[in-house]
Amino acid sequence: MGYQPVDRAGSHLKLRYIHPETGEIRNVTIPMGKEISGDTLRNIAKQCNPFCMPRYTKSTVC
């Protein structure tokens, strides 16, 4: 998906995506544990792009 690791703090990894055409930057923080709850997964999907992932989120707007 084009996300690159930029930082790690404890048990969390921060990823960044820079859109090649618009320069838009998206930052996502992901827990490094073994399991991720459904709510956490939905929040990660919203951070990635709330307009392209409506099936993973309850709403397409954050």
Domain residue limits, the chain:
4-48
pLDDT the model gives residue 5: 92
List the strands of the sheet with 25-31, edge to edge: 4-9, 12-18, 25-31
0.75 exceeded by pTM: no
pLDDT the model gives residue 8: 92
CB 41 within 8 A of CB 48: no
pLDDT the model gives residue 54: 45
Phi–psi pair at 39, nearest 5 degrees: -65, -40
Written as six digits, the tokens of 62 are 């954050």
CB atoms within 10 A of CB 15: 19
Q: 5: which DSSP letter?
A: E
Residues of the chain with pLDDT under 50: 53-57, 59-62
pLDDT the model gives residue 60: 42
